[in-house]
Structure 1
Amino acid sequence: MSHRSALLRPLSAAAVTAVLVGGLAACGPKGSGSSADSAPHKGGTLTVLDQGTQSDFDPARLYTTGGGDVPSLVFRTLTTRARVSGEAGTKVVPDLATDTGEPSANATVWTYHLKPGLKFEDGTAITSADIKYGIERSFAPELSGGPPYFRDWLVGGASYQGPYKDKSKDGLASIATPNATTIVFHLTKPEGDFPYLATMSQFAPVPKAKDTGADYYKHPVSSGPYEVVENQNDGVQIDFKRNPYWSAGTDSQRKAYPDRIDYTGGLDASVINQRLSTSAGADADAVTIDTNLGPSELARVRNDKDLASRVATGHFGYTDYLAFNPKVKPFNDIRVREAISYAINRTSVVNAAGGSALATPATTFLPNQKAFGYTPYDAFPAGATGNAAKARQLLAQAGYPHGLTVTLTHSTSDSSNEGPAVASAVQDGLKAAGITVKLAPIQDSDYSSTVDSVKTEPGFFLAGWGADWPSGGPFLAPIFDGRQIVANGANFNSAQLNDSSVNAAIDRIDAITDHAKAAEQWGALDKQLGQQALTVPLFHPVYERLYGKNIRNVVISDWDGRVDVADVAVK
């Protein structure tokens, strides 16, 4: 993942990694009543149309969490998300395991037991050794691409090189398998969020005898409701059919209505939305996972009753914001940062991001969702259009009675919320406070590597962050934990904050295994950090997704804001 999160910058390119959203509820098909026509049925072929591709379709290399996307059709994990719309979909539930994990008293040891009757696509039993081996493969250098948590969290993970180089009998000793249905993880530090990590594709079982190394992506062995028939051009086109050994009796989350699923990636966004709008032939049975409706498309759709009934709204924990580097003048002066915070015109910024249908104004760094610990606050009340008088007052105190000039770095991508439109809106909005903003565009392909490097990080730039799972930990820690500052690599702690009290608070909350209690503490920490004006939260994006006219049972949870392909049905 290109990271400004583990699950990312807005597509076009999240090139990355993913597409996200921020907000609250979700909706399914408008016509999903009790009639036979609207009820989901088994059978048929589902078509998936995406901008991105399913490259490196290997559970070790993927960066997916929670389930609900294409890999979850094939790869089951110890836990997954609850496959329901809205806030309830942010909860972790068992998948291959009987529960979400049994923590030790200090949350440094997590134990899981497998459900009975689990089988691979060839009918062989899934064991704890298969899950251990699947995780160990993700440490192999030739299978890189997955998340960093395993090296950080598992004892011995920092130096482990995977099973291809390590020929020892026990492999990574911090993953123990006392019997075929039990697996135990020993962690370097308390981690109350471990059940969320256990939703990642690296927890999918891989039978050692069927491992083909770097070629495994061509036909990975399925533990889910579908198996790969053919993978063309490294994930551009993948055909799936039912896995005859998958049992709904062991999987309450994936409905698996269609008999087959045809996936096509590498398409243009306008082509995808046009095909879904027209819904001709197989496109009537189609959905998209990564393609949003833009402002002009959304306006057209809303004027068409039929199309409007085929739009689902998704929300994901993501915040677009202005980042400061306090090591660069004049941003080393908190009064300057506060002045900009007061001066910001969020109305113009939201309009630049597509309007209120596609963006919600933000005054907190945490997304406005309960699962993250959202606690409403506004440290520097700017109103809808900015508080120019308060900003001028602070600038005068900082030694700039006649205003000042600053440079704002942004991406050149027109499809990114870090691009020219939002940058120009910030520029225009700060004028009233006497702040002249010079725009400094950087080619989109070089943007992340520039702003996420301590060596090249500018003083003032557009950024965005989304969490790998719906919790305050993966949202606040990468941005504000001083121990996560990376001197020679991708660094997301833009303010380069290294406050021992903040670091200690993060450790304390990490150890809490009760998610509701932890969320409350994350919210309090967010409010505390907000007083330091290290960022200016701008908005949380909202995603509007069109789907084909024959699609039923649309589920979009607040976990990642995407259509759950394992739950949709075709008419």
Structure 2
Amino acid sequence: TYNRELLFGRALKHPHLPIFYDSFTDQDHWYLVVQYIDGPTLETYVQQKPSQRLALWEVLDIGIQICDVLTYLHTRRPPVIFRGIKPDNIMRSSNGSVYLVDFGIARHFRPGQRRDTQLLGSPGYAAPEQYGSSQTDERSDIYSLGATLQMLLSGKNPLDDTASHPLSAASYLPQGVEQLLEHMQAQLPEERPANAQEVRTAIENLAREHRISSLIPSMQQVEPGAERQQSNRGVTPVYSSGMQSAQIMSPLPPISPPPSVPPRRKRLSAPLWITAGLLGAALLCVFGTMILPSHHNDAPPRPSIASKQEIFMGVNDGGAAPVLDPALAASTQDQQVMTMLYAGLTTVDSRNAVEPGLAQSWSSQANTNGGLDWTFRLRPNLKFSDGHPLTSTDVAFSIDRAFSSPTSEYAYLAQYFKDGNARLKGNPKTLVGDSLLTPDPSTLIIKTTNQGVFLPTMMSTYCFLVVNKGLVDKYGKDFTKHLDEGGSSGLFKQASSIQPNGMDLALNPSYYGGQSRLGKVFVRYYKDERTERADYRAGRLSMMEAPDYDSLTSEEQSNRVVTSLAGINYLQMNYLVKPFDNIKIRQAFALALDKSAIMDGAFKAGSLATNHIIPEGQPGYNASLTGPGGTTTPHGDPAAAKKLLAQGMQEEGIQSIEKFPAITFTYNSWNIVSSQDEMKLIQQQWTSTLGITVKMEDTLGKPLNDRINGSVNNPHGLQLWFNGWNVDYPDPQNWTTLQFTKGSVWNSGNYGQNGSTNAKAQQQVQADLLKADALQDPQQRLVAYQQAEQQLINDVAWLPISQNNRAELVKPNVRGYQIDEGGYATPDVMQQMFIIAQENS
């Protein structure tokens, strides 16, 4: 049970799952640290009702929320089957949000397996196949959800004969509800709804048909400034027709140290959860504990909170000067420091949910130029770390700085601002007063060039973090040397002037989002891994990027934490350079590669082989996406590759392999052995499967960006190259429209703008992406991007190879630390971290 909870807790992130923070052990106990949920289980919640049952609208709201999390679980790779849905495993918070808890009997679905290895489940709620007739799948969870909804409506246990017909217990139920519940609880899996999304749609249709959708928070559309009657869940912007708004999130409860464990406990016959997330008993303020059966009656005290709440963070940029200016290009580690020092209009939490930052709300309306006017309302009484007011003037100034030069790191985002591209050329000299308006100190208006609804998410990009205009005016580009004078808008401030070996950060008392348990963060800069590692081993660093796996000691291996990142490594072929204007030849090169074998051969603990453009973990990720020709794995299809190559050569009039056009594969290995091995394996697989010998061009550390960018609309540009993309902001637009539409600086493969036979179809995909940008319905929008992504993969617009990961060494006394898919710890994580006393770690 503990291992299952640990496995799924670390891997799964969803708004209706408790956040997993950490795990640790002592001599007699195993602990899990999870999110505090302020509320009871549905079992208890129903019992507290005088009628012992819930109203229809509330049950449908719960059903929609559980369908959402089931859709997420069932679309993982491999699918996660919960197997334990029942009222006692669903918690309801005080604002109406529900959380699926207790993964103790969850399992991964295994294609081809006849039945589950272990027969587990709760009588009355478990589907018949959970007792051994066949393997459980997503339809098993649908059965259990049906039984749960029936219990909530009737107040009767499913084993009670009178509960089998909910209408008998609640005659006010409208037509259709009983039929849906019977459909969900059909004895044979094939007679139930196919998936949770189908159930969600059926619930929404019932609510609309009987005109109760306005009562259901999960279906509500909130107008700007309006308050939700039942639920103001706050972590996700709520969309309304023609407008958008975001409701400010309630502050986190104060963080307190876990209470002490009593010195004596009875031995337990089964694992006992005493977390806020699982039984609602012995609730801890933010963290909870799971205790497994004890081997002694005298349990040692729980690890205590350290008296000094401070961490030492290593930044290794090879000796390069630290970058603390958000307008400049920065490494991921420098971005980590900047997100601690500065805040933005919006922020992204550890689950990729966009939340209010300096702005407490926002709305949009169409303007006369075909775009949108976005109005952001700042929180009241915002201040920099020196106490001076932070106003819309500072925000507008900071946004404009990102476009001060056509060579700026994020200059390509200027296209979304009215006159943004002209700003890059110096006319106008600033967007402030043009597309960035400040009618009063607490209001910022941004004028955009299109109808895209992704702007609030885009504003979480680090280049838009807010700096102190007064400090920049005083010191110019050297303002980062004087941040200790009051330049911080984020969770931390610079405690003293920066030193060659690092900088000290302390809590910013003016930060809008409350305080962190951490009192100080010591950032230490390193030129080489050897010195950084020596400090980590000596206890002078709390965390660092992990060295090569083979070089780690056994203790370091136990401290190693690996996180999947939102970064895709891919091959790109130029549609304007033969023979890659032929779709079948492109598909042949794609299907000739066994990406898993390449990853295994080049990296001991390497990246995840993938067919995806939108990475796993990002909004819009499509678990059902297939590779070219319908391949469902990253192993390729050599037979199909050979057939497609022959067909493509015939279409191009290429008589034989000997007369095949010369292919040059350009890449930058940075003189890293594993990267060189990866490229060689790709070359070898093309040779062995297609019989084509590809010429290799390794730039050996010399950047390729100028040559790649120079391939846009260039038939004499690069032919075939290796590249990568790391997320700017967690929206599918960042992976699709930005990469492949006409005029995009990143469309270096010239998708859509070429003379191939399917160019018109590609242009339709480009048009569909622009339409998806503007869709107001979040679900419709994601589906539109997923459909476009599938076509991009079929056309081999990119040839994805792998999804990145990052390995770190984290000292065992550091609790609650995790990085997001962008590669750094988000502010909500930094607020929830704490340190336990070293002697008990």
2:767 match: secondary structure: helix
1:195 to 456, 461, 465: 456
Give the superposition deviation at 1:39: 7.1
Taking structure 1 as reference, are residues 363 and 164 closer, same or farther at Cα in structure 2, changes over 3 Å only?
Answer: closer
1:237 to 502, 505, 516: 502
Could you tell me whether the CA contact under 8 Å between 2:627 and 2:794 is conserved in 1? no
1:451 aligns with 2:712: no
Give the superposition deviation at 1:62: 5.4
How do 1:497-516 and structure 2 match up within 5 A? 497-498=752-753, 499-516=762-779
- 1:71 matched residue in structure 2: 338
How do 1:330-479 and structure 2 match up within 5 A? 330-355=579-604, 357-374=605-622, 375-380=624-629, 381=631, 385-397=635-647, 398-399=649-650, 403=657, 406-415=663-672, 419-433=675-689, 434-454=691-711, 457-479=717-739
Could you tell me whether the CA contact under 8 Å between 1:151 and 1:158 is conserved in 2? yes
Could you tell me whether the CA contact under 8 Å between 2:506 and 2:520 is conserved in 1? yes
Equivalent-residue separation in structure 2 for 1:495 and 1:462 (angstroms) = 15
- 1:10 matched residue in structure 2: none
Taking structure 1 as reference, are residues 543 and 551 closer, same or farther at Cα in structure 2, changes over 3 Å only?
Answer: same
1:156 aligns with 2:412: no
2:742 to 473, 476, 482: 482
**1:225-251: CA deviation from partner (whole Å, max 9, x where unpaired):** 322222245xx62222232333xxx30
- Give unmatched runs, 5+ long, in structure 1: 1-22, 486-490
Taking structure 1 as reference, are residues 420 and 73 closer, same or farther at Cα in structure 2, changes over 3 Å only?
Answer: same
Give the superposition deviation at 1:313: 2.5
Give the superposition deviation at 1:425: 0.9
Could you tell me whether the CA contact under 8 Å between 1:371 and 1:470 is conserved in 2? yes
Taking structure 1 as reference, are residues 251 and 40 closer, same or farther at Cα in structure 2, changes over 3 Å only?
Answer: farther
Letter in 2 for 1:447: L
2:574 to 292, 315, 325: 325
Equivalent-residue separation in structure 1 for 2:533 and 2:332 (angstroms) = 26
Taking structure 1 as reference, are residues 108 and 352 closer, same or farther at Cα in structure 2, changes over 3 Å only?
Answer: farther
Equivalent-residue separation in structure 2 for 1:523 and 1:382 (angstroms) = 16
Could you tell me whether the CA contact under 8 Å between 2:344 and 2:465 is conserved in 1? yes
- 2:360 matched residue in structure 1: 98
1:227 match: secondary structure: strand
Equivalent-residue separation in structure 2 for 1:192 and 1:422 (angstroms) = 38
How do 1:270-285 and structure 2 match up within 5 A? 271-273=531-533, 275-276=535-536, 278=537, 280-283=538-541
- Give unmatched runs, 5+ long, in structure 2: 1-10, 14-18, 25-31, 34-257, 261-301, 754-761, 837-841
Give the superposition deviation at 1:502: 2.7
2:687 match: secondary structure: helix
Could you say which structure has the higher helix fraction? 2
Equivalent-residue separation in structure 1 for 2:403 and 2:741 (angstroms) = 25
Letter in 1 for 2:646: A
Equivalent-residue separation in structure 2 for 1:319 and 1:413 (angstroms) = 18
Equivalent-residue separation in structure 1 for 2:823 and 2:305 (angstroms) = 21
Equivalent-residue separation in structure 2 for 1:42 and 1:181 (angstroms) = 39
Could you tell me whether the CA contact under 8 Å between 1:42 and 1:257 is conserved in 2? no
- 2:4 matched residue in structure 1: none
2:408 match: secondary structure: coil
Could you tell me whether the CA contact under 8 Å between 2:595 and 2:635 is conserved in 1? yes
Give the superposition deviation at 1:554: 0.8
Equivalent-residue separation in structure 2 for 1:65 and 1:200 (angstroms) = 12
1:445 match: secondary structure: coil
Give the superposition deviation at 1:29: 3.9
Equivalent-residue separation in structure 2 for 1:57 and 1:335 (angstroms) = 47
Equivalent-residue separation in structure 1 for 2:570 and 2:775 (angstroms) = 28
Question: If the length of structure 1 is used for normalisation, what is the TM-score?
Answer: 0.80
1:294 aligns with 2:557: no
Equivalent-residue separation in structure 1 for 2:372 and 2:307 (angstroms) = 43
Taking structure 1 as reference, are residues 206 and 426 closer, same or farther at Cα in structure 2, changes over 3 Å only?
Answer: closer
1:49 match: secondary structure: strand
Give the superposition deviation at 1:137: 3.5
- 1:118 matched residue in structure 2: 382
- 1:135 matched residue in structure 2: 399
**1:15-58: CA deviation from partner (whole Å, max 9, x where unpaired):** xxxxxxxx976975431545766576684432111222673412
1:108 to 372, 393, 397: 372
1:224 aligns with 2:479: no
Equivalent-residue separation in structure 2 for 1:145 and 1:61 (angstroms) = 7
Give the superposition deviation at 1:384: 5.8
1:465 match: secondary structure: strand
Equivalent-residue separation in structure 2 for 1:459 and 1:513 (angstroms) = 39
Give the superposition deviation at 1:354: 1.5
2:798 to 516, 527, 535: 535
Give the superposition deviation at 1:481: 1.2
1:435 match: secondary structure: coil
Question: Number of residue pairs matched?
Answer: 514
How do 1:74-93 and structure 2 match up within 5 A? 74-82=341-349, 84=350, 89-93=351-355
Equivalent-residue separation in structure 1 for 2:805 and 2:774 (angstroms) = 31
- 2:748 matched residue in structure 1: 493
- 2:226 matched residue in structure 1: none
- 1:251 matched residue in structure 2: 513
For the pair shown, which has the larger CA radius of gyration, 1 or 2? 2
1:307 aligns with 2:556: yes
1:281 match: secondary structure: coil
Could you tell me whether the CA contact under 8 Å between 1:342 and 1:391 is conserved in 2? yes
- 2:788 matched residue in structure 1: 525
1:392 match: secondary structure: helix
Question: If the length of structure 2 is used for normalisation, what is the TM-score?
Answer: 0.56
Equivalent-residue separation in structure 2 for 1:378 and 1:266 (angstroms) = 42
- 2:150 matched residue in structure 1: none
Equivalent-residue separation in structure 1 for 2:395 and 2:309 (angstroms) = 32
Give the superposition deviation at 1:202: 4.5
- 2:135 matched residue in structure 1: none
Taking structure 1 as reference, are residues 118 and 308 closer, same or farther at Cα in structure 2, changes over 3 Å only?
Answer: same
Letter in 1 for 2:789: D
1:58 to 291, 304, 325: 325
